[in-house]
A and B are shown apart, each in its own frame.
Chain A
């Protein structure tokens, strides 16, 4: 879990209008109850997702959760043991990859080393028997779209990693695919390039209205780009929802802890749907989950906890990390529990390590999980 997800990400996403599905006339994609085993490992266990036309859905999860397998089944590189993939309502399970009209960008550099950027982009059109001049024009157009027109004649080895992935994106889009499949296309790139390309992909995708399935293990990427994010674990979908929904109302403890930073506080679950922790009783969000009354962990976001400087409080500030507009403060509570609390950086000056503070739970419902 990376620690740099803050409330900002969600608000950014909302400001971009990421939740609105743009582009009409796109293709709908339905993954129906997909299962796939490799030997004794169940890579996919009954995965179902419905993608609206023009929607960008990110599959997010730790490595080995089955997200790549799902994408490869949609692409036609793997076959599902059971279940089906419907594109515009038609089952494409028996259609070979080459005839699925899906543009794919791979994690590793996948450009053909023997072809220039332009020929790479034009390759799909060549396979569709498009004439040379039309192909050239189209390839140039697409290279312009990804900002690489001057590099048209260069070979892959002359391009940087970020440029190669942009050519790969142009190549995938050149065939005007019904569905765009992105298999961790940014994970080999360095942070700055990753950020730029992330925005570029999203802008292009929205402009063209291409239904897109995007696989990543980077939560920031998923939350900032996708209309909806599906969090996967052990071959199953834990939750699929819009980024802010996922962050604010995670359906399971796994989602809560995988997306963003989560504090765990020891508490006591009461039978009446409340939990007591830090000398307070608050309502439980996930009532009826697989947790019974008794000792539990209360899950609270860093921005969910409140904190006030007070003598002989219930906690002592141990660390202070400046993250820009907010500062993340580490507080040691009794029982050797450390929590992270976000404070606006302007208020964090008083919170030097060693300061005694009082930490309190929010009054809103909280998530509980079995005690770790």
Chain B
């Protein structure tokens, strides 16, 4: 009781002038915290990269390209990325649009279903697929593309879903309809152009996923780029680390480019900054 009174006394005696100071102090503490978090996270991510760079040395970057198996494995990975992306977008775009327009109640279910590939461990998936897939499919690396489509589903769905949510889809589809546009024209000229950034995000995520997937490719015995990096690391560790750093850098550049281009495009038509999962809703200012 006594302590409470004393505390009140103190609060009263300092009174109004201290309130501004207190706020300033809390802002300072907040800013400081932000920096601490940023630095800790930065150190956590950068130390491994820095060590890898130290280990590989500048010279090994030069010899990456001439390394045995580099070209063929990269070629396979790129081809898989292209096939996977095409199938994923062709499947997910119309499906997601349809769900938004006609079955909005199923959106929750869709979210649940599309999260499954993340929940189920890749090993389980690939073992199941290898058990069931016909021999003719097992002998072609494009089997991987089919599996990657499933793996990419959560990312592609979320990216496209975010894009659709930023649009008043029902109204613009009906407006297009009343102006005489059939389904194909509506999708091609009205819906798709407004989903450009969302589709771009889906593409980036899918490509990044395919270029980095190791477990399935290695269990299915195909030498994709990540598999090659691992295999090669047994014989020439430095080159393999250089290759993976290179891959990381190129992917990062790719992501940055998409974000910048996407944002520019989106600003032109009134959208906000593009990040991979959210597209800011279009705003109308004033009347």
A98 near B: Cβ within 8 Å? yes
A12 near B: Cβ within 8 Å? no
B285 near A: Cβ within 8 Å? yes
Minimum C-beta distance from A33 to chain B (A): 24
**Tally of A-B Cβ pairs under 8 angstroms:** 103
Measured between beta carbons, the chain B residues less than 8 angstroms from A171 are 175, 179
Q: Are B179 and A158 in contact (CB under 8 A)?
A: no
Measured between beta carbons, the chain A residues less than 8 angstroms from B285 are 160
Q: Are B287 and A160 in contact (CB under 8 A)?
A: yes
B180 near A: Cβ within 8 Å? yes
Q: Are B171 and A113 in contact (CB under 8 A)?
A: no
CA distance A112 to B283 in the complex (A): 13
B190 near A: Cβ within 8 Å? yes
Q: Mark A76-118, 1 if CB is under 8 A from B, else 0.
A: 1100000000000000000011111111101011111110000
Residue from B171, B178, B185 in contact with A103 in the complex, judged by beta carbons closer than 8 Å = B178
> In the complex, which residue of chain A has the Cβ closest to the Cβ of B284?
A161
CA distance A157 to B190 in the complex (A): 16
- Asked, given contacts A157-B282, A160-B287, whether A99 binds B180 with beta carbons under 8 Å apart, the answer is yes
CA distance A128 to B285 in the complex (A): 33
- Asked, given contacts A108-B168, A112-B190, A127-B185, whether A97 binds B178 with beta carbons under 8 Å apart, the answer is yes
Q: Are A160 and B284 in contact (CB under 8 A)?
A: yes
- Asked, given contacts A124-B179, A175-B180, whether A113 binds B284 with beta carbons under 8 Å apart, the answer is no
A123 near B: Cβ within 8 Å? yes
Interface hits, B149-179 → A, CB 8 Å: 167-168, 171-172, 174-179
CA distance A97 to B173 in the complex (A): 11
- Asked, given contacts A160-B285, A160-B287, whether A98 binds B194 with beta carbons under 8 Å apart, the answer is no
Specify which of B174, B194, B283, B287 lies most central, judged by the most chain A CB atoms within 10 Å of its CB.
B287
Q: Are B177 and A97 in contact (CB under 8 A)?
A: yes
B268 near A: Cβ within 8 Å? yes
Residue from A77, A101, A109 in contact with B177 in the complex, judged by beta carbons closer than 8 Å = A77
Measured between beta carbons, the chain B residues less than 8 angstroms from A337 are none
Measured between beta carbons, the chain B residues less than 8 angstroms from A157 are 269-271, 282-284
Size bracket of the B interface: 20 to 34
A52 near B: Cβ within 8 Å? no
Measured between beta carbons, the chain A residues less than 8 angstroms from B270 are 113, 155-158
> In the complex, which residue of chain A has the Cβ closest to the Cβ of B179?
A124
Q: Are B269 and A123 in contact (CB under 8 A)?
A: no
Measured between beta carbons, the chain B residues less than 8 angstroms from A96 are 177
Size bracket of the A interface: 35 or more
> In the complex, which residue of chain A has the Cβ closest to the Cβ of B177?
A97
Q: Are B177 and A113 in contact (CB under 8 A)?
A: no
Interface hits, B188-208 → A, CB 8 Å: 189-190, 193-194, 196
Measured between beta carbons, the chain A residues less than 8 angstroms from B181 are 98, 123, 127
B20 near A: Cβ within 8 Å? no
Q: Are B176 and A112 in contact (CB under 8 A)?
A: yes
Measured between beta carbons, the chain B residues less than 8 angstroms from A172 are 178-179
CA distance A162 to B285 in the complex (A): 11
Q: Mark A141-170, 1 if CB is under 8 A from B, else 0.
A: 000000000000001111111101000100
Q: Are A104 and B284 in contact (CB under 8 A)?
A: no
Q: Are A155 and B168 in contact (CB under 8 A)?
A: no
CA distance A113 to B270 in the complex (A): 7
CA distance A114 to B268 in the complex (A): 8
A282 near B: Cβ within 8 Å? no
Q: Are B178 and A112 in contact (CB under 8 A)?
A: no
- Asked, given contacts A98-B182, A161-B287, whether A104 binds B172 with beta carbons under 8 Å apart, the answer is no
Q: Are A124 and B180 in contact (CB under 8 A)?
A: yes
Minimum C-beta distance from B4 to chain A (A): 51
Residue from B269, B283, B287 in contact with A189 in the complex, judged by beta carbons closer than 8 Å = B287
Q: Are A112 and B194 in contact (CB under 8 A)?
A: yes
Interface hits, B257-287 → A, CB 8 Å: 268-271, 282-287
Minimum C-beta distance from A236 to chain B (A): 26
Measured between beta carbons, the chain A residues less than 8 angstroms from B287 are 160-162, 189-190, 193
Q: Are A155 and B269 in contact (CB under 8 A)?
A: yes
Q: Are B175 and A106 in contact (CB under 8 A)?
A: yes
Specify which of B178, B196, B283 lies most central, judged by the most chain A CB atoms within 10 Å of its CB.
B178
CA distance A189 to B168 in the complex (A): 18
CA distance A181 to B185 in the complex (A): 22
Q: Mark A223-244, 1 if CB is under 8 A from B, else 0.
A: 0000000000000000000000
CA distance A181 to B175 in the complex (A): 11
Q: Are A123 and B179 in contact (CB under 8 A)?
A: yes
Q: Are A127 and B167 in contact (CB under 8 A)?
A: no
CA distance A319 to B1 in the complex (A): 55
Q: Are B286 and A160 in contact (CB under 8 A)?
A: yes
- Asked, given contacts A155-B268, A158-B270, whether A109 binds B284 with beta carbons under 8 Å apart, the answer is yes
Minimum C-beta distance from B189 to chain A (A): 8
CA distance A172 to B174 in the complex (A): 12
CA distance A123 to B185 in the complex (A): 11
Measured between beta carbons, the chain B residues less than 8 angstroms from A109 are 168, 171, 284
A262 near B: Cβ within 8 Å? no
Given A76-B177, A108-B171, A110-B175, 9 new contacts (CB under 8 A): A98-B178, A98-B179, A98-B180, A103-B179, A106-B174, A110-B174, A111-B175, A124-B179, A172-B179
Q: Footprint of B on A, CB under 8 Å?
A: 75-77, 96-104, 106, 108-114, 123-124, 127-128, 155-162, 164, 168, 171-172, 175, 181, 189-190, 193
The 4 closest A-B pairs by CB, nearest first: A157-B270, A124-B179, A127-B180, A114-B193
What are 13 sample pairs from A and B whose C-beta atoms fall under 8 A apart? A96-B177, A97-B177, A98-B181, A104-B174, A106-B174, A112-B172, A114-B190, A123-B181, A127-B180, A159-B284, A160-B286, A161-B284, A171-B179
